[in-house]
Amino acid sequence: MPHIAPDMDDLFRKAAENYSLKRGANRWEEIASKLDAHQQPFEQGRKPNHKKYLVVLLFLFAFLLLVDIIPYTDGNEDPVHQISKFERPAELKSTISNANNDQPRQEPATFRFDINDKVNLIPRSLRIDNKKGSAYVVNNIEAEDKYLKARVVNEKAFLIVEQLQSPASDIDIKNRRAIELQPLNTDSKQRNKNARHGFYYGLMVGAGFTNIKSQEITRAGFEYGIVGGYRFGEKISVETGALLSKKYYQTSGEYFSMKAISSSMPTDMKIMDVKSSTDFLQIPIHVRYDLKNRNDHRFFTSAGFSSYILFKESNSYHTMHNGNEGMRYSTYKNRDSYFAGSFDISIGYEKDIGNTATFKIEPYLQLPLKGVGVGELQLKTAGLRLVLTRPLK
Amino acid sequence: MLKNISEIIEGCVNRDPKCQRTFYDSYRHFALKIVFRYIYRYEKAEDVVTDGFIKAFDHFHQFKKDDEENLEKILAGWIKRIMINCAIDELRKNNMMPEIGGIPDEVWDITDRSDNADQLLLYKDLVTQIKELPPNYRIVFNLYVVDGYTHSQIADLLNISVSTSRSSLSRAKAILQTLLKNTEQKELCRI
């Protein structure tokens, strides 16, 4: 044995640095698969997260959309009571003076005539309050106890929207005033008329459960994005969109196709089950049919196809190899696309909000037409979408 | 060893698998030699190294490459710290229970037929002696003597007092001295 150096620390230090050890097995595959499973939290913390920016943009978009929805009001304005501030024409004053203000409130008898698209000149007897376009009152004294609801075009002209007839005995003055009030841009029939055809766009958020061959459901996925459509008439529209969606699902190994991964797995390895989370860009094309179309709400059904671009698929494989159970983790970023990957059907309810926007709630079902992902899995998704839209001006 | 260490680091920060693979291939033996001083069993040491690399790749963005000139040295120090921490964690997990059974010969790579062979044998014996120390003494000895930690750093790392660190070191040294004397006597008897 060689002579042992007197400085023990130095000797051990040299030994620790220079001792010869068998090179260990290369376990890169194990590290790589574990890294895939760890990657998500790291990416969120470190890499620029484009999803975050997208969400911020969507919120901004929603904000702009909502700003347009909220009807314009001028501070303390109360359109119903504002009329009391108006100076009534002399002719009307005499009628009002005969009315009994304490009479119980009754709904006025309303007679509708064809809405006159002709622009009328405002007669001198008409009093109009045009405060920043918030509300208008038109008292047509010339029409013998008939009152016009009208939309003011400018200081000199108006458009008759509706004619009302209110016998003095049926209605008190307060109610009469209220009927005559005609806020700008809030007439739902007029809006409906405008919305009968044309483009619209909006935002969508949704959540859904995905399963494969009626197996156990893991957890809810989610989706969000922009939608757009064209309304052809009162009943039919075509809708599309670009939705980022995440789906979670699991399956028994028997439904998982080994075609794509068999080369990277040991020969005798069997997949017992697989848990997946997958990120898609979803592009639906749906035809919508309105079952019931009321003034400010609608019931509809829609059907169509969704195409998918798969961004990322993270799979956890529960494996069996020579009698030993194990786990393997893999992430795939193949960007595979699936044209018409699912057939979609939905029913829904849509309600108008504010001046121009609509909000709809839409339960849906997606039935698989193609196998998706490395395992070519038949994903069936059921969920609920909330959509906010407005017409494209 | 690495053609462009800066690019490899950048790649690892950005989770480029090729760079990660290159980094792993370059440092895995270095890491194993560190961990094997702390962890008694070779297979367990390999597991700890694997965990250490995963930890390293997960935290690569925290690596500070301020000094471009000494990047390789800094990187080696960084990976060494990670491996040591992982090894200590593993020992803690087992409540610092000492292991017995010896170290099989096949884990050593004593294939050198030159004059250096004797030196390698000596080193093997010395490392074996370090590994035969009780885990808490082994850790302190390795940290202080081999890896250059101070007693206060050891105290912080192991959550012990500085005096405990000092006494652990002196006991470790005493044990090693006894072991060395025994080994020397055995060798002399053989002659």
Better-scored residue on pLDDT, A169 or A257? A257
* Neighbour-count burial of A16, counting CB atoms closer than 10 A to its CB (0-12 exposed, 13-18 middle, 19+ buried): buried
pLDDT at B61 over 70: yes
State the count of interchain CB pairs (< 8 A) between A and B: 117
pLDDT at A73 over 50: no
Q: Do B145 and A13 touch (CB under 8 A)?
A: yes
The pLDDT tens digits for B150-176 are 999 999 888 899 999 999 999 999 999
Single out the residue of B189, B71, B81, B69 nearest to residue B142, CA to CA.
B81
Give the per-residue pLDDT at A68: 53
Tokens of A150: 């009208």
Q: Do A19 and B15 touch (CB under 8 A)?
A: no
Q: Is B119 helix (H, G, I), strand (E, B) or coil?
A: helix
A340: enclosing H helix or E strand: strand A337-353
Residue bearing tokens 């002709």: A118
β-strands A236-252, A221-231: how paired?
antiparallel
Q: What is the mean pLDDT of residues B146-150?
A: 92
| pTM for the structure as a whole | 0.43
Task: Characterize B58-78 residue by residue with b for buried, 16 or more Cβ atoms within 10 angstroms of its Cβ, and e for exposed.
Answer: bebeebeeeeeeebeebbbeb
Give the per-residue pLDDT at A323: 66
Q: Do A16 and B37 touch (CB under 8 A)?
A: yes
Q: Residue A31: which of B50, B111, B126 has the nearest Cβ?
A: B50
Under the banding of pLDDT at 50, 70 and 90, the label for residue A326 is low
Q: Do A20 and B126 touch (CB under 8 A)?
A: no
Better-scored residue on pLDDT, A174 or A353? A353
The pLDDT tens digits for A226-282 are 999 998 887 899 999 999 999 999 998 888 888 877 776 777 778 888 888 899 999
The pLDDT tens digits for A327-337 are 677 778 777 88
pLDDT at A89 over 60: no
Q: Is B2 helix (H, G, I), strand (E, B) or coil?
A: coil
Give the per-residue pLDDT at A182: 45
Q: Give residue A64's identity as a one-letter amino acid code.
A: L
**Cβ–Cβ contacts within 10 Å for residue A38, how many?**
15
pLDDT at A379 over 60: yes
Cβ contacts of A235 within 8 Å, gap of 6 or more: A289, A290, A293
Separation in Å, CA of B78 to nearest CA in chain A: 16
Tokens of A71: 């009807």
> How far is it, in rounded angstroms, from Cα A345 to Cα A362?
10
Q: Do A24 and B145 touch (CB under 8 A)?
A: no
Give the per-residue pLDDT at B66: 73
Report the alpha-carbon angle A34-A38-A43, nearest 5: 140
Share of chain A above pLDDT 90, in %: 25
Better-scored residue on pLDDT, A4 or A213? A213
User: Which of B19, B28, B138 to substitute to test the interface with A, most A CBs within 10 Å?
Assistant: B28
pLDDT at B101 over 80: no
Better-scored residue on pLDDT, A111 or A263? A263
Range with the poorest average pLDDT among A55-59, A65-69, A276-280, A329-333: A65-69
Give the per-residue pLDDT at A76: 41
* Chain B hits for A42, Cβ within 8 Å: 15, 58, 61
Q: Do A12 and B24 touch (CB under 8 A)?
A: no
Q: Got the DSSP string for A87-141? A: PPPHHHHHHHHHS-TTSPP-PPP--------SEEEPPTT-----STTSEEE---G
Tokens of A98: 């005969």
Better-scored residue on pLDDT, A358 or A96? A358
Mean per-residue pLDDT over chain A, rounded: 70
Q: What is the mean pLDDT of residues A340-354?
A: 91
ipTM of the complex in this document: 0.88
Are the beta carbons of B57 and B20 closer than 8 angstroms? yes
* Chain A hits for B107, Cβ within 8 Å: 21-22
Under the banding of pLDDT at 50, 70 and 90, the label for residue A64 is low
* Chain B hits for A21, Cβ within 8 Å: 29, 32-33, 36, 107-109
Better-scored residue on pLDDT, A43 or A164? A164
Cβ contacts of A3 within 8 Å, gap of 6 or more: none
Q: Do B29 and A21 touch (CB under 8 A)?
A: yes
